[in-house]
Amino acid sequence: MSRPAGNARLKAARVAAGYPSQQDLADALGVGVRQIRRWESDTPPWPHPDMQTALVRLFGQDLAALGFTAPDGRDQPAPTRRRVISSTLAAAAGLATVPRAAAQTRQPASVAADFESVTRSHRRLYWSVAPTNLHPAATAHATLGCALLPETAGATRQRVAAALAETLLLAGRVEFFDLQEPARAQDTWLRALQAAGEADDSLLGAAVLAHTAFIPGWAGQREQAVERMVAARTYARRGPADALMLAWLDAVEAECETRCGNTRTALNLVRHAEDVLAADGDHGETPEWLDWFTPVRLAAFKGNTELRAGLLPQARTTLLAVLDELPDTDEKQCTVILGDLAAVEAAAGNPEEACAYAVRALDQLEVTWYATGMDRVREVRRALAPHQHETCVRDLDDRLYGWSTTVSALAR
């Protein structure tokens, strides 16, 4: 006699969702492994109401699709909120929403690792690849992630959603910092927040919300920026966030306050961030994706705030130390630091030194384009208007409006 197959549907859904053993699923649901064995038997009992909801939420399928037969008169649990979020993400990506009855395709658990590997590659490529080349790849990867979500469940679905959130966060960073398209970045970050909610990843949610604060912050809209930072800090507490993440939130808020003209408040926030890093309490682990912030980057925030506060000697000292400590691979940030040093010298009435730093920034921009860095150079040139007839300023103009630099700027 052949051995009974048991509830093959539930077993297949369990494995595809990333729970290779019955014990793994039991742990995820908070039940004993004996209960899972009963559900995967030839005659699985109808789950209790709380377990019905948990199973539907975990696997994204109704109980009939999971191999359960409802007793007469029993209702199925309603679709979960996560299904609604997935549909919203799919619609935003331009994908047709798959009808519930037709959504039978199930990806294997390995799809999560494969999708994550591309996300990690894009994260590393951001620092060297031209934004106009990286952005289409990242957005295409995000479209794939939106298509995969309805085809995954459980731990697999959660991992795909988290990688999708990170991909959308990266795409928004390119749009805001590199392509200077804040409205587009706002839409992308909204989708990133939805994906972070799908993954139930509070730290990713905090990172996305803090990035959205840059948009009103850079526009001088302080109330909106502060409101978004309050939301970001709320999500970070749920994480819980580690010292580096908490310091970065201070740095983001400091930059927004600086842009809104509140440099004293900004410097207080920077000092608080320095204290957080110095204490380095046991708050949590640093997320792998938090690669855009380090103690050196905090010092860069500080130097810019000191510059805008008119504390020129302090700004010069801070920024020179940053330039000395900045890794060679941090080419984009290098253009920003050189631009800020040029601004310090321009404000101090040293046009030759200002032009020398600005030219160094342009040299780097020809290697790695960064719109934020070019903005710094243009600000310096405007500040040098009283010295525009001096040779060093004319030489700067020759570089600033050379064929390659002008074409690159206009193309972006």
51 burial class (0-12, 13-18, 19+ CB within 10 angstroms)? middle
pTM here is 0.81
Structural contact between residues 329 and 284, judged by C-beta atoms closer than 8 angstroms: no
pLDDT over 70 at 409, yes or no: no
Whole-Å CA distances, 24 to 40, 61, 294: 14, 19, 36
Residue written as token pair 């990867």: 141
Residue 407: its pLDDT value, please? 58
- Enter the tokens of residue 396: 């700067």
- Enter the tokens of residue 206: 């905090």
Task: Say how far apart CA 258 and CA 57 lie, in whole Å.
Answer: 44
Q: What is the pLDDT of residues 65-80, one digit of tens each?
A: 888 988 875 656 655 5
Q: What is the pLDDT of residues 278-310, one digit of tens each?
A: 987 555 689 999 999 999 999 999 999 999 999
Q: In this predicted structure, which of 3-7, 268-272, 380-384 has the lowest mean pLDDT?
A: 3-7
Residue 80: its pLDDT value, please? 55
Residue 87: its pLDDT value, please? 59
Per-residue pLDDT band for 58 (boundaries 50, 70, 90) equals confident
Torsion of CA 9, 13, 14, 19, to 10 degrees: 160
The domains of the chain are located at: 1-59, 80-97+109-200, 324-412
pLDDT higher for 408 or 181? 181
Q: Roughly what angle, to the nearest 10 degrees, separates helices 182-199 and 81-92?
A: 150
Residue 411: its pLDDT value, please? 55
Average pLDDT, the chain: 89
